[in-house]
Amino acid sequence: MADHSIDIIDLEKRFDRTQVLKRINLHIRDGEFLTLLGPSGCGKSTLLRLLAGFEPCTSGCILIGDRDVSPLPPKARNIAMVFQSYALYPHMSVRANMTVPLEMSRLSFRQRLPGAALLSAKVRAIRKEITAEVESVAKPLGLEALLDRKPAQLSGGQRQRVAVGRAMVRHPAVFLMDEPLSNLDAKLRQQLREEIVDLHRRTGITFIYVTHDQTEAMAMSDRIAVMEGGEIRQCAAPQEIYDRPDYLSVARFVGATA
């Protein structure tokens, strides 16, 4: 098995003259569930976007296993990301939302044209394979009965599951989630929290989860990296952060009821 640990080394990000991330150093173990916890504006989403490759680093680098992925485009990184807004294609069915990423990577432009499947047995075989894979991801997420619906016909929780499913179909090595539960009500948050932890257990993928909710971080994570002002203040197991916060700011933030 390939090593999917992550090393973030001296990572900095500046937008014009504003320094948003200040020399971040962090090692994330292969298969770990690590949470970035911190108040709004501390740089959590920016750090995820750098990991996913949506933004270039100002300096420093990111290794996955032994490979420096910092110069690579998002597609070449084998990283999937679930956004706070879910970012589903509104005009497409759930099924289409989930098949698109696989079609883009396995079929050429010509093979994706309508009618290509009629002409080519190879295209039919690939499409059949993709359909089977999408259904196998949809089932444990409880999406089977929803595959023909449009996003507008789904509840918030269902949309969130589709966003997770769409990211999972590519079998990423690393899974990034940016406040995926923040638009949901408390009861659903609790339920989906458990589903995400379960997904992590089943897949063994390296998860980096972002939240500003300390209860969520405490309940879900192997380790928590507490961020403030573009820096990681402390990174440790939930119990240790709770018992022995290194900084007053960590104690304040973690002690606060969210």
Extract the tokens encoding 146.
């929803």
User: What is the distance between the alpha carbons of residues 257 and 88, in angstroms, rounded to a whole number?
Assistant: 32
Q: How far is the CB of 190 from ligand ADP (least distance, A)?
A: 23
Choose the one of Mg ion, ligand ADP, none that binds residue 42, judging by a C-beta under 5 to 8 angstroms depending on kind. Answer: ligand ADP
Q: How far, in Å, CA of 123 to CA of 100, rounded?
A: 14
d(CA 158, CA 160): 5
Q: How far is the CB of 55 from ligand ADP (least distance, A)?
A: 8
Q: Which helix (H) or strand (E) holds 240?
A: helix 238-243
Considering the complex, state which of residue 41 and residue 71 has its C-beta at the smaller distance from ligand ADP: 41
CA dist 126 and 117 (Å) reads 9
Residues lying near Mg ion in the complex (CB under 5 A): 45
Number of residues that bind ligand ADP (CB under 6 A): 11
Instruction: Check residue 233 for interaction with ligand ADP (CB under 6 A).
Output: no
Minimal distance, residue 48 CB to Mg ion, in Å: 8
Q: Does 245 bind ligand ADP (CB under 6 A)?
A: no
Q: Which does 141 bind (CB under 5 to 8 A by kind): ligand ADP, Mg ion, none?
A: none
Separation between Cα atoms, residue 56 and residue 63, nearest integer Å: 14
C-alpha–C-alpha distance, residues 213 and 195, integer Å: 17
Residues of span 22-81 touching ligand ADP by CB under 6 A: 38, 40-46
Q: Please, what is the minimum distance in Å from the beta carbon of residue 180 to ligand ADP? A: 13
Helix ranges (H only) for 204-237 are 214-220
Interacting residues toward ligand ADP by CB under 6 A: 15, 18, 20, 38, 40-46
